[in-house]
Amino acid sequence: MNENELRDLLTRVSGRDLSKATLNDDLVETLDLDSLTALRMLAAVEKYGGVRFPDDQLDHYRTLGQIIDFVKKENKS
Amino acid sequence: MKTREINCLLEFLAHASHCYGENTALQHANDAGRDISFSELQLQAHLGAACLTRLDPVEGKPVLLLMEACPEWAASFFAILAAGKIAVPLVIDMPVEEIAGLAAHAGIETAILGQHARHLTPALKGCRTLYPADLFKGDLRQHNTRVAADDTAVLAFTSGSTRQPRAVELTHANLMSNLNGLRSVRQAGPNDVFLSVLPPAHLFELTVGLLAPLSCGATIVYAGTHMPNRILDYMRDFEITHTLAVPALVESLYLEVLFQLSEAEIIDPSRGRQQVAETARRIQYELSQDTLEKIRLGTRSRFGFSLHTLVVGGAAIENAYSQVLKAIGINLELGYGLTEASPIVSIGLAADCPNESVGKPLPNIDVRIDEGGEILVKGRSVMKRYFKDPSSTHDVLHDGWLRTGDRGKLDSQGFLFIEGRIKEAMVTRSGETIYPDEVECYYAHPMLAESCVAALRGEDGNDVPTLFAIPASDDISDEQLDEVFKGLKRNAPNRYKVPQMIRLNQALPRTATGKVRRRLVAESLEQRNSVLDGHSRRSRGTRDE
């Protein structure tokens, strides 16, 4: 999953415009998300990226960069 | 299982073990090797008690339970009680310094930590720390604990403020009385399976999500996640029948209904999310039985056909959700409670309750409304006292009646309605109770002359904690103030991230002793808004969540 695919996916799930979000922006704060939407975004990444975020560290994946790095790392291993 | 005569949690556990023996009591959704039967739960409680007694034989001491929701949480809880000690459960997502403050306030010398709470060890300097692996090994030395019904079983903190920590002392009899009251109106059975998604350190989950299923031989499955996709998977895979939920979980199920409606081309998702009231209306008046059956089958294939009851506690929820969920075969159980009442006061199926009611009081609880409109509660489930706080205890307990701090009414049929809050505690959409003084310390800034946090009523009836800020100078623009707010919010612990800020241009109203009159700030704004827009009670301001 590359950056553009991730942006498209998260835009569909959240219904928000991610075009201006940088790789380091905190998505919850930048996009004004509630906690359920933030979790639904991660759930969508799990489904389409074939990964599983650790349940006790869900708070750690709040930027596009963090999510991309995680997906890359998981797919390598 | 008869629990009517039982008023001690240890006797309760022994009885459950006797009745349901090898049935599975507790399971972890993601780790099949951690199943615990009723007999094993009883055994582990006594192994743990023997260990705790070896380390410190003095009974009546508080033991901190700092663990994620899992089978070992329940075993540790009963071990503490079986050692004649007092369980002090805390949620593990609190800041380290707050846990340190609360542990000091409670006089904690021993703490039991879960694997996800290891990072909190620095909060427990000078304390003996144990892990489940330490607790449940060794010999089962006979220990002669004598626990009386009126002994304190649990210290439940309702405020995490390090300046004003507040803990409720609940006895064995308090908790058992609430459980017995609940069981007299609701019964599950050994074939039922409860999914636990909330922390058992919250009284609602402890009583309704742990003790109630154990009392009737049901199995509890710990989800161990907040991820909505996994929670729905577990509902299907473990054939869950009951779940205690906060509104976010109800919303997850609602989104599944919307997905099916969109698949059936009844709604167009590109036009935005359909509001729940509109969905309820269409289900009631527009959709055929065939279509409804398709929607029901579609949603049920996602989260299974077993789930029939969602118990929503701790937070208000829009009534239309119950109509939507009813259409797919799920009953919404509503209720009202507070930690000081162990915690359930009233309960009712949404379908049987008048709009906006929170059900009827449990049969063993008396409820009355005083002349000021405040809900008063009396019964054996009412707390013993606030821990080390006779002044606060005196403020809320009079002749056995507990002042709840909530305003309400009872109708002629005995249904209870909550109309607002008298005290300053805020109950958020996620069901958490937060006190303004816990939050305000995170929102101090040189660009703010003064500020306070108070609750505005959200559209769903829950409190929306709101920062009321007065800039240090009129020259500070709204944009600058917004940046200050966002920065403060970013640095605040998750629990204290205030969703919105409102700029005020006049000094905060204060009492003669200088205390900010927070409710007056919120009420005057709500009144002004209701005049401005006629019907909406939603405040205007910077909404940031």
In B428-477, where does DSSP find H-type helix?
436-440
The DSSP symbol for B441 reads: G
How many Å lie between the alpha carbon of A29 and the closest alpha carbon of chain B? 7
Closest Cβ–Cβ partner in B116, B252, B486 for A36: B252
Tell me, yes or no, if A24 comes closer than 8 A to chain B by beta carbon. no
> What single letter denotes the amino acid at residue B215?
S
Q: In this model, does residue A46 exceed pLDDT 80?
A: yes
Is there a contact between A56 and B68 if contact means CB atoms under 8 Å apart? yes
- Indicate the burial class of B285 (C-beta count within 10 angstroms; 0-12, 13-18, 19 or more): exposed
- Indicate the burial class of B4 (C-beta count within 10 angstroms; 0-12, 13-18, 19 or more): exposed
Tell me, yes or no, if A19 comes closer than 8 A to chain B by beta carbon. no
pLDDT value of position B45: 95
Is there a contact between B490 and A29 if contact means CB atoms under 8 Å apart? yes
Find, in chain A, the residue whose alpha carbon is nearest to that of B485: A29
C-alpha span between B435 and B444 (Å, rounded):
16
Are B317 and B357 within 8 A, CB to CB?
A: no
- Is the Cα dihedral B192, B198, B200, B206 positive or negative? negative
How many Å lie between the alpha carbon of B68 and the closest alpha carbon of chain A? 9
- Taking contacts as CB-CB distances below 8 angstroms, the residues of chain B near A13 are none
3-state secondary structure B78-128: HHHHHCCCEEEEECCCCCHHHHHHHHHHHCCCEEEECHHHHHHHHHHCCCE
Q: How far is CA B456 from the centre of its chain?
A: 20
Is there a contact between B229 and A32 if contact means CB atoms under 8 Å apart? no
> What single letter denotes the amino acid at residue B520?
L
How many Å lie between the alpha carbon of A57 and the closest alpha carbon of chain B? 10
Local structure of B354: helix, strand or coil: coil
ipTM confidence: 0.88
Tell me, yes or no, if A17 comes closer than 8 A to chain B by beta carbon. no
Local structure of B300: helix, strand or coil: helix
- Taking contacts as CB-CB distances below 8 angstroms, the residues of chain A near B255 are 40
Q: Which residues contact B210 (CB under 8 A, 6 or more apart)?
A: B74, B77, B196, B200, B220
Tell me, yes or no, if A20 comes closer than 8 A to chain B by beta carbon. no
**How confident is residue A43, by pLDDT bands cut at 50, 70 and 90?**
very high
How many Å lie between the alpha carbon of B118 and the closest alpha carbon of chain A? 12
Q: List B88's β-bridge partners, or say none.
A: B64
Local structure of A20: helix, strand or coil: coil
Cβ-based interface (< 8 Å): residues of B facing A: 30, 68, 116, 224-230, 248, 251-252, 255, 272-273, 430, 486, 489-490, 494, 543-545
Is there a contact between B545 and A56 if contact means CB atoms under 8 Å apart? no
Q: Find tokens 């001690």 and name the residue.
A: B8
- Taking contacts as CB-CB distances below 8 angstroms, the residues of chain A near B543 are 32
- Could you tell me how many residues make up chain B? 545
Give the CATH number, domain containing residue A36. 1.10.1200.10
Is there a contact between B490 and A26 if contact means CB atoms under 8 Å apart? yes
pTM here?
0.85
Local structure of A48: helix, strand or coil: helix
- Structural domain of A67: 3-76
Q: List A20's β-bridge partners, or say none.
A: none
C-alpha span between B275 and B228 (Å, rounded):
20
Mean pLDDT by 10-residue block, N- to C-terminus, for chain B (545 residues)? 74 96 95 89 94 92 96 97 96 87 94 92 90 85 80 88 78 97 92 95 94 97 93 96 88 90 85 83 91 93 94 79 92 92 95 90 97 94 96 94 93 92 79 82 89 86 89 90 91 86 87 76 74 35 32
C-alpha span between B364 and B383 (Å, rounded):
14
Closest by alpha carbon to B545, among A76, A49, A29, A18? A29
- Run of H or E residues at B488: helix B478-491
Q: List B130's β-bridge partners, or say none.
A: B112
Are B506 and B516 within 8 A, CB to CB?
A: no
- Taking contacts as CB-CB distances below 8 angstroms, the residues of chain A near B229 are 43, 46-47
Peptide bond into B343 cis (omega under 30): yes
Is there a contact between B248 and A40 if contact means CB atoms under 8 Å apart? no
pLDDT value of position B138: 74
In the structure encoding, which two tokens stand for residue B64, read together?
A: 């901190």
C-alpha span between A7 and B30 (Å, rounded):
30
Is there a contact between B486 and A29 if contact means CB atoms under 8 Å apart? yes
Q: Which residues contact B81 (CB under 8 A, 6 or more apart)?
A: B9, B10, B45, B49, B87, B147, B153, B172
How many domains does chain A contain in total? Answer: 1
C-alpha span between B129 and B109 (Å, rounded):
9
- Taking contacts as CB-CB distances below 8 angstroms, the residues of chain B near A36 are 228, 248, 251-252
How many Å lie between the alpha carbon of A10 and the closest alpha carbon of chain B? 15
Tell me, yes or no, if A23 comes closer than 8 A to chain B by beta carbon. no
Closest by alpha carbon to B234, among B189, B269, B195? B195
Is there a contact between A32 and B544 if contact means CB atoms under 8 Å apart? yes
How many Å lie between the alpha carbon of B237 and the closest alpha carbon of chain A? 18
- Taking contacts as CB-CB distances below 8 angstroms, the residues of chain A near B489 are 29
Find, in chain A, the residue whose alpha carbon is nearest to that of B493: A59
Tell me, yes or no, if A60 comes closer than 8 A to chain B by beta carbon. no
CA distances from B431 to A72, B135, B195, B246 (A): 36, 32, 17, 6
Local structure of B63: helix, strand or coil: strand
Are A27 and A20 within 8 A, CB to CB?
A: no
C-alpha span between B299 and B305 (Å, rounded):
9
C-alpha span between A17 and A37 (Å, rounded):
14
How many Å lie between the alpha carbon of A75 and the closest alpha carbon of chain B? 20
For an interface test with B, the pick among A17, A27, A29, A56 (most B C-beta atoms closer than 10 Å) comes out as: A56
How many Å lie between the alpha carbon of B229 and the closest alpha carbon of chain A? 6
The DSSP symbol for A16 reads: S
Ordered by where they begin, the domains of chain B are 9-22+29-186 (3.40.50.12780), 228-329 (no CATH), 334-421 (2.30.38.10), 436-543 (3.30.300.30)
> What single letter denotes the amino acid at residue A14?
S
Closest by alpha carbon to B439, among B509, B501, B506, B395? B501
pLDDT value of position B143: 66
Are B209 and B220 within 8 A, CB to CB?
A: yes
- Run of H or E residues at B334: strand B331-337
Is there a contact between A34 and B545 if contact means CB atoms under 8 Å apart? yes
In the structure encoding, which two tokens stand for residue B112, read together?
A: 């039991």
Closest by alpha carbon to B64, among B4, B105, B35? B105
Q: What share of chain A is helix, strand, coil (3-state, %, to 5)?
A: 65, 0, 35
- Taking contacts as CB-CB distances below 8 angstroms, the residues of chain B near A29 are 486, 489-490, 544
- Taking contacts as CB-CB distances below 8 angstroms, the residues of chain B near A15 are 272-273
Q: Report how many Cβ contacts below 8 Å link chain A to chain B.
A: 48
pLDDT value of position B35: 92
Find, in chain B, the residue whose alpha carbon is nearest to that of A26: B490
**DSSP per residue over B206-256, as a string?**
IIIIIIHHHHTT-EEEE-----HHHHHHHHHHTT--EEEE-HHHHHHHHHH
The number of helices, as runs of H, and strands, as runs of E, in chain B is: 17, 27
C-alpha span between B187 and B287 (Å, rounded):
33
